[in-house]
Amino acid sequence: MTMAATSHDMPVETTENPTRRQKNRSFWLLAPGVLWMLLFLVAPILMMVYVSFWTQTTFKIEPTLTLKSWVTFFSSDTYLGALWTTIRIWLIVLACTLLVGYPAALFVGLFVKNKTLSTALLVLCVIPFWTSFLIRVLAWRPMLGKEGAINMILMKIGVITQPIEVLLFSELSVIIGMTQIYCVFMVGPIAFMLGRIDPSVIEAAQDLGASFWRIFRTIILPLSMPGVVVGAIFVSVMVLGEFATSAALSGRKVNLLGNIIVTQVGSLKWAFAAVAGVVLTVLMGAVVAALLRVVDLRKEL
């Protein structure tokens, strides 16, 4: 007589929890990126913060912790003025790139129906980036100078009788140069978001009698906001870290935080340069955090 095998006699197969296995896989996929960020982003920032508290003497720097460099920065009208100038120019350039870039992105992303043509127009915007950054900056000098192309054209058509000297070696020239250089970073993300809008939604609004401005206000603008935020982040980070454009187009009359850092590094004043770098990093982080609160990019993109 054979007896049926009991459950105790059956081999038990142990299987790993699928959720745990998925978490392990995600961890190993994220590990290279996390390690890279720790080594080349977090560690340098922490080192910069640490160096900002070192004691800076005339000819050398000592790893003795002190607040002297911080006190000097926030008690100096020159350095606080550079901070305010950086913020002011950033706000103006951000507004200018949005005013210039949004209509261009609206045309490319919404009104140009041919995808090949819209792609070609975007590539046309990127073509200037095939040349050196300094060449693109210095190209504005013969345009904005006292005897430059803009003054010559305005005088020939009778708009002005004397050359406008404020166009070059001023804060205005820095704003013009930065707007032209960084406008493409506003156009691209906005055009991408506008290209994702379903045309049937706009057609339905038109069939219901909505005007263009109402369609723009209630449909186009809200749906393009993720692109505006992404473009604003790109422009903000690059403008806040600028130093070359201001030096080339203002004749070193406009000092940004980036120029302060370059000057202090050139003078071997590492502690003070670190203070300016920490302030600039905190400013950038605050700006990016504020922009990310406008739109939840994880849901929209």
For the segment 46-69, what is each residue's pLDDT rounded down to a tens digit? 999 999 999 988 778 888 999 999
Looking at residue 300, its pLDDT comes to 66
Q: For 25-50, what is the mean pLDDT? A: 91
CA distance 86 to 257: 6
CB distance 193 to 106 below 8 Å: no
Extended beta strands in the chain, E state: 55-56, 61-62
Give the rounded distance of the alpha carbon of 87 from its chain centre. Answer: 14
pTM of the model: 0.87
Residue 92 identity: I
pLDDT at 98 over 70: yes
Burial class (CB in 10 A: 0-12, 13-18, 19+), 72: middle
pLDDT above 70 covers what percent of the chain? Answer: 93
Looking at residue 127, its pLDDT comes to 85
Assigned token pair, 102: 């949004």
Looking at residue 2, its pLDDT comes to 47
Candidates 144, 238, 139; CA nearest to 186 is: 238
pLDDT at 14 over 60: no
CATH class of 67-293: mainly alpha
Q: For 82-97, what is the mean pLDDT? A: 97
Q: For 278-285, what is the mean pLDDT? A: 96
CA distance 67 to 301: 43
Q: For 61-86, what is the mean pLDDT? A: 93
Looking at residue 3, its pLDDT comes to 46
Query: What is the biggest distance separating any 2 CA atoms in the chain, rounded to whole angstroms?
Result: 120
Q: For 106-112, what is the mean pLDDT? A: 88
Q: How long a stretch of residues is the chain?
A: 301
Helix axes 270-292, 68-75, angle to 10 degrees: 70
pLDDT band at 220 (very low <50, low <70, confident <90, very high): very high
pLDDT band at 92 (very low <50, low <70, confident <90, very high): very high
pLDDT at 10 over 70: no
Assigned token pair, 266: 């050139």
pLDDT at 178 over 70: yes
pLDDT at 15 over 90: no
Looking at residue 18, its pLDDT comes to 67
pLDDT at 286 over 70: yes
pLDDT band at 126 (very low <50, low <70, confident <90, very high): confident
Give the rounded distance of the alpha carbon of 195 from its chain centre. Answer: 22
Averaged pLDDT score across all residues of the chain: 88
Q: For 244-253, what is the mean pLDDT? A: 90
Assigned token pair, 260: 């302060």
Assigned token pair, 225: 């906001």
